[in-house]
Structure 1
Amino acid sequence: MTTPSSPDRWGLPLGLSAFVLWGAMPLFFPLLEPAGPVEIIAHRVVWSLVFCLVLLAATRQLGSFVAVLRSGRTMGALAVASVLIVVNWTTYVYAVLSGHVLDAALGYFINPLLTVLLGVLVLRERLRVAQWVALGFGAAAVVVISTGVGGLPWIALVLAGAFGLYSLVKNRVGRDVGALPGLAAETTVATPFALAYLFWLGATGAGTFTTDGAGHALLLAACGVVTGLPLLLFSAAARRLPLSVVGMLQYLTPVLQFLLGLLVFGEHMPPARWAGFVLVWVALVILSVDGTRHARAARLADRARTTVVPEP
């Protein structure tokens, strides 16, 4: 008989697996060359939908997926999410294939800071002093890198911006839509455009799916598994782990990307870029410590409100 605590033992391995797979993605996309970034993303969209539909059928969640498709309001939000995630995916693949893995890592380090900023600009949230300080360090990092390297780190900013907005949209529909039906709906929106592009590539002879061997075609088809599997692992882990643990695990992905860019791909790290990364890491430490303290204080306050004081 399974005890209630048994599933919790799987939370950390599932979460680690998800974030390690995301962090290791820079090793996968170069295997898809000579396909370019847009062709890769088109295949990623199509095969992700196929993978999702197979899993939805296997887990008997097709009804949930159909319900999402029938909800005009939900599909409107997911259509926006689809555009944002395609922008994120395309920028990321371009970064990997053009030797900017470190910029991609910087984008995902910046993302939590940008999420806080979006809370102010879009949701009209009020920030605590420590959050403002963290944002200040993040802004200083962008300035230092821009002036030292000779231009805005646009790849990092686009990745962080697209994913931050995507997270904001998903937060609005996430309470009602599961991870798997949601991804299936998002890829459903993008699939007609992806297929049209792939057919155009085939008609003009510019595509690589049918011209570079069975191994290459299988790797392109594997984009669906590479996209869907970490999401499923993350979804399973999020149900088993405290939010604070999930929040700390998320930094594993950009750390791995940073190490791959530096040690495996041998990308250059001038002093200005090092200084910028250090400023971002300081900002994330401040943000994490403040978030942990605030969450603990909120739990204690909630416990105090629910404690029943016996009458004398």
Structure 2
Amino acid sequence: MPPAPPLQSRTGYLYAIGAYGLWGILPLYFLLLVPAGAFEVVAFRILMSLLFCALLLTIIRAWGRVGALLRDRRTMLLMALAAGAIYINWQVYVFAALGGHVIEASLGYFINPIVTVLLGVLVLREKVRPAQWAALSIAFVAILVIVVGYGAFPWIALALAFSFGAYGLIKRVVGPTVDAVGGLTLETAWLAPLALGQLVLVSTIGGGLDFGQNGLAHSALMVGAGVVTTVPLLLFAAGARRIPLVALGMTQFLAPLAQLLIGWLVLHEAMPLERWIGFALVWVALIVLMADMVAASRSSRRVADESI
């Protein structure tokens, strides 16, 4: 019997599963915010996340780190770009959750690892291994199948995949200099004026705000949007520090799988044969991609061991 993984590794898996599990059931939380619309929900998500991050920074006495980042012009510019990417992701995702497109949203997060590889090639000029080319090709065929067979262009899925892929790319460029709480604080600070503007528009020409009009529980859930945004991010950051990148990549599919099941079995969204075929092709592409990641990780480890 193989030895049990160390406690730190087991804890890391729990953190990662907790993060992706919470992200997976997020559509159900947003549905509790009805009748509030997507623009109002995202505005509250931004402002309450900023407030919650500020509270956390005060508790852990980490405002000094944020102050140092504020004086770094390059970091602030990158955080502004990250804020734009995550805003698009949040707005499209909430629109999908409230508009009956949870299954298509799950497709976006299934293909996100493939988009990440594509962005690495296009932006960072990374070398692509044959298996990665195969995964990209299969994913492209999957999108064609969905477009032709299902009769609709999956713009929600692609918008989510590319916006989150761009967000991850920017975070990769920033590196470990920006921690999870500090990064989200800066991103939501950049977006706060936009969020306030959305609330003004909704209150004036959008029929009025729903916050405070549907009982105390609904108002509490709107305020809680900051917590449900920040807590999974912190769990993810804690897990990423404790388990290998390949293992983290495997657990990330918990979120889109949960979203797919919620959309199909709970919300009864349409899942015709053409969409199943498209999803199946995406899963084949992911299997190829994950197998290549595992092989590359083992090869790197073997080279490192031989060099000792």
Above 0.5 in TM-score? yes
Partner AA of 1:301 in structure 2: V
Deviates more, 1:211-220 or 1:112-121: 211-220
> Deviation at 1:216?
1.7
Match of 1:253 in 2: 255
> Deviation at 1:59?
1.3
Which of 233, 236, 241 aligns to 2:235? It is: 233
Cα distance in 1 for residues equivalent to 2:59 and 2:118: 40
Contact 2:16 2:240 in 1 (8 A): yes
Deviates more, 1:222-231 or 1:235-244: 235-244
4+ runs deviating over 3 angstroms: 5-9, 199-205
Match of 2:165 in 1: 164
Contact 2:39 2:202 in 1 (8 A): no
Which SS does the other structure have where 1:124 is aligned? Answer: coil
Within-5 A mapping of 1:120-135 = 120-135=121-136
Match of 2:56 in 1: 55
> Deviation at 1:203?
4.9
Which SS does the other structure have where 1:17 is aligned? Answer: helix
Which of 271, 274, 277 aligns to 1:275? It is: 277
Contact 2:85 2:167 in 1 (8 A): yes
Q: Does 1:297 align with 2:289?
A: no
Which of 215, 221, 224 aligns to 2:223? It is: 221
Cα distance in 2 for residues equivalent to 1:240 and 1:168: 21
> Deviation at 1:168?
0.5
Aligned-pair identity in percent equals: 48
Q: Answer with 1 or 2: which has the greater Rg.
A: 1
Cα distance in 1 for residues equivalent to 2:264 and 2:201: 37
> Deviation at 1:175?
2.1
Partner AA of 1:169 in structure 2: I
Cα distance in 1 for residues equivalent to 2:273 and 2:230: 37
Report Cα offsets for 1:232-291 as digits up to 9, x if no partner.
111111111121211110011111111111111111111110100000000000000011
Cα distance in 2 for residues equivalent to 1:136 and 1:85: 27
> Deviation at 1:47?
0.1
Match of 2:3 in 1: none
Partner AA of 1:105 in structure 2: S
Match of 1:115 in 2: 116
Cα distance in 2 for residues equivalent to 1:70 and 1:42: 27
Report Cα offsets for 1:109-152 as digits up to 9, x if no partner.
01111111111111111111111111111000000000011121
Distance 1:200 1:100, change over 3 A: closer
Q: State the aligned residue count.
A: 302
Cα distance in 1 for residues equivalent to 2:267 and 2:261: 9
Match of 1:207 in 2: 209
Cα distance in 1 for residues equivalent to 2:183 and 2:34: 29
Match of 2:77 in 1: 76
> Deviation at 1:200?
4.0
User: Could you state the TM-score of these two structures normalised by the residue count of structure 2?
Assistant: 0.95
User: Could you state the TM-score of these two structures normalised by the residue count of structure 1?
Assistant: 0.94
Cα RMSD after superposing both structures: 1.2
Cα distance in 2 for residues equivalent to 1:164 and 1:6: 31
Q: Does 1:151 align with 2:164?
A: no
